[in-house]
Chains A and B, each alone.
Chain A
Amino acid sequence: MTTPLLAGMKRSTLWTGTVIDCDVHANVPSIETLFDYMDPVWVQGTQERGWHGPTGPRLSYPPGAATTARDEWRHDGLMPASKLSMLQNDILDPWQVDRAVLNCYYGIDSLRHPDWAAALASAVNNWIIAEWLDKDPRLVASLVIPARDPIAAAAEIDRVGSHPGFVQVMLPVRSERLYGQRIFNPIYEAATRNDLVIGLHWGGTTEDAPSPTGYASWYAEQYAAETQVYIAQLTSMVFEGTFQKFPALRVAVMEGGFSWVPTWGWSMNKKWKGLRRETPWVDRLPLEIIRDHVRFSVAPADLGSPEHSQRIIEWLGSEDLLMFATDYPHRHDDDIDELLAIIPATMKPKLMSETARAWYKL
């Protein structure tokens, strides 16, 4: 998404206003990196077993895939986005980023061990605080949780959620159960108690099929079909009444795109008009609930032609739903200039910073 800058276009040519990047990544380079931040019980457990860490990241982001990192962001054979200096040199400095929301996807959920998963989440959060948040005031971050265990997840949210650098709880989009179901309420209670956004992010459990109906054969297929899972999770939250139960809940969709939102919203609206008696707590049009409670990162934007994309922006029915992101170090289409060209002038500052500032209270 950053080619206009990297290809020689100056940031000032693209956008002179403030930039908040709502999705940049920190990658854990190795399990050993976390040893200083982990209870010794689990350090020994890792060493004893010769464990190399969760499988999730490599499945969600195959190391060599073109989408996993841009060539210019692969430094000296090191894992991309695994050091603060990389993020600073590649994104924060050249983009003159005012604030950036750091997301560490480490595949905590590929671990079934209930205690180890919780310990691993704590270690990652400690590492994020020490190695990233404490070292660059431009950064805020998502905390990670053992999402399979909502009670343990809530405890971890309460343990670190009051740290001023944490603004969000990362919820990997794939899960064994739909996130609107009441078993997850402790997570939303803890998130709202700590005034944190719920960040629905690519990734999640590895043993269940990554689509609602089975396994994809290829990575491109899986990546493209992931939209279905975002839709399934948000639809669940709407109809289960998560937003009525937690009126203050704010959700951000990251790496999920947004072009599908209008047509999906129309479909929910249609069904609701005639079937709403099943779920009377859904007290207004579902798309209105989405507009009130959900924001979307624009990496990927998945744009079509300018004419068609402009139509989609209009169909969103609000200028307040989209938030700029680079999704560093992942590679998507380089289309932020195209997106800026088709949106109303009044929407540009909202897209580039204001919406994220309001959503994350930055």
Chain B
Amino acid sequence: MNEATASVKKPQKFVVARAEEIPPGSRLIVDVGGREVGIFNIKGSYYGMLNRCPHVGGPLSQGQLVNSVTATVPGKITLDESQDLLTCPWHNWEFDIKTGQSYWDPKHMRARPFTVNVEAGTDVAEQVDGGSVGRIKGPYQAETIEVSIESDYVVLSMRPQRPGTAAKPGACAPPPTATTEMKVEVRP
């Protein structure tokens, strides 16, 4: 068993969608080996969050995206549009989309964020070939898409982030340089 074969068995990165399939303001919930992860595009930056609230297991990735609100005195509310929070649809607890940190219990409660990047089709194709990037199988309505170098792809990393560190929002991929094709399954 060579090294490439071994890494095919345990890829930690997955192609989850073509970049244009998750435009700014939208989200996609994907299934990665039985774990559901919400992929969010917030003003062009991508974030991933396990679809499970650390409180009592609610579908966190289906919650509202809101900004931080704070006030030192009654009536004077500061909206911080640079801080994006995901609220659980069950109890409305707020979690930082970047760090998973709970607003009200930052020391003990943390949702599970994942890094999401946009990568060029050329790089993705190479990595899929090399086995370091996996393809996810949609359990419900899987559709097959092609990876082509003309497109950018949303790649989810399932590597655990170090606690307290923010996921880096996905940066724009470099322009494609070569042509290749392959099949990628994505759950819409």
Contacts and interface: CB of A to CB of B under 8 A. Distances in A.
B91 A273 contact: yes
A274 B92 contact: yes
B66 A277 contact: yes
A281 B104 contact: no
B95 to A, nearest CB: 12
Interface of B is mostly: loop
B71 interface: yes
Nearest to A182: B74
Given A272-B104, A273-B104, A281 B71 contact: yes
Given A273-B93, A275-B92, A285-B104, A280 B73 contact: no
B73 A245 contact: yes
Contacts, number: 44
B69 interface: yes
A280 B93 CA distance: 13
Contacts of B73: 241, 244-245, 281
Interface in B140-166: none
A182 B92 CA distance: 28
Interface of B: 66, 69-77, 91-94, 103-104
22 contacts: A182-B75, A240-B74, A241-B71, A242-B74, A244-B74, A245-B73, A272-B104, A273-B91, A273-B93, A273-B104, A275-B92, A277-B66, A279-B71, A279-B74, A280-B71, A280-B77, A281-B71, A281-B73, A281-B74, A281-B75, A283-B71, A285-B104
Given A182-B74, A276-B103, 14 more contacts: A241-B75, A242-B74, A244-B72, A244-B73, A273-B91, A274-B91, A274-B93, A276-B104, A279-B71, A280-B70, A280-B71, A280-B77, A281-B71, A283-B71
Interface of A: 182, 240-242, 244-245, 272-277, 279-281, 283, 285
